[in-house]
Each structure stands twice: as C-alpha cells, then as structure tokens.
Amino acid sequence: MAHTMADYEQAVAPHKHDLFAGIGGRILELGAGTGPNAVYYPPGSTWIALEPNPYMYPYLKQAAQTHGLHLELAAGRAEAIPLADASVDAVVSTLVLCSVSNPSQVLQEVLRVLKPGGTFHFLEHVAAPTQTRLWHWQKRLKPLWRCLADGCCPDRETGRSVEQAGFASVNYTAFEAPLPALVRPQLVGRAHKAALA
C-alpha cells in the first residue's frame, strides 16, 4: 500500500503516462498542488495551475522550471474558473473532483473553458461498486473522512457525473490504487468537447 504521495505517484505513473499522451498547448490543471503532473506535460507547453492554496506556488514554480513549462498561476476555485470561454486545449483533474463542493458545476466550467475539440483528462478516486461492502463503508465513514481529508468525499460517482456533463465522448477505465481501501477504487479517462462543425 502507498504510504506517501510519492509512493502513490509511482504506482499510478503508468496510468498517468497513458492519460497524458498527446497533451499539449494551453493546459489548465485544477488543484495543481505541488505539481506532480508537470513531468507529463511537453516542454514549452503553457501550464495554467489553478490552485487555491498560495503555499503551493513555490513548488509549482519549481516544477515548471524543472520541466520547461510556461507557468501561469491562477488563484480561485474550480467551480468558478477565472479564464475566458474556449481558452484552453486541455483540462486536467487528478484527485480533485472528490473535494470540490459542486462537481457538476466544475464540469460545466471545464466545458466552458475548453476549446472546441479540447480534452478533459481525469484520474480520480471514486465510489466502490454499488451495494458492495466497501460501498457501504464509504457511505458510513464519509463524514469522518471529510473531516480528516480536507473535505474529500470517498463515495463520489465521478464516472456518471462526467458522462452526464455534456461531453461529446467519454472514455474511462476503473482500477485499484495502492491506497487505503476507502479510496482504492479509481477511474482514469478522457472526455472530449465537441469540435466545431
């Protein structure tokens, strides 16, 4: 089991390598944190890091410099992305949709800021299959988990939310990450905004 985020990043690296294949241009990352995804972005890309915690900014600057990215820091929340309509080629969310206050609103914002034909790349922990023992435990422990994990909800139906958001196509794969059981079920995938006709 992963005991640190570094262990987790190493365990999910193959998933992220596939997830971010072909990404480039103007990339908006929701909740960029310390910048662990920067290694997957092509040098020369513009990396717009939407991060509400200013204490993360030095780490993001270092990651951008290390990986040859043009960094634009954006303070704010994913429910109200401070960018113009159709202004980015890709949006990235890794372990973020579990903690936002309104996932549906965030996904509408993602669609708004994506250029036509743009892609939403996501890797999130999600609810276990319905009515399984783990699903019941996720429901029972959700209040405590939210207090201990900065608002994180272990039982979000993220796949369904992305499917219902209005993307032209959605493809994702379920897998288990080496994490505590409550957040072991994960989804990795892409959703595409319709291109202009």
197 within a domain of the structure (yes/no): no
Q: What is the pLDDT of residue 184?
A: 82
Tokens matching residue 118: 């743009």
Q: How far apart are the first and last CA of the chain?
A: 47
CA 101/CA 4 separation, integer angstroms: 25
| Helix, strand, coil percent values for the chain (each to nearest 5) | 35, 25, 40
pLDDT digits (tens, 9 = 90+) for 42-77: 999 999 999 999 999 999 999 999 999 999 999 899
The total domain count for the chain is 1
Indicate which CATH number applies to the domain containing 10: 3.40.50.150
78 within a domain of the structure (yes/no): yes
pLDDT digits (tens, 9 = 90+) for 19-34: 999 999 999 999 999 9
Q: Outline where DSSP puts E strands in 1-69.
A: 26-30, 46-50
33 within a domain of the structure (yes/no): yes
Provide the residue range defining the domain that includes 55: 5-192
Q: pTM for this one? A: 0.91
pLDDT digits (tens, 9 = 90+) for 94-126: 989 988 989 999 999 999 999 999 999 999 987
152 within a domain of the structure (yes/no): yes
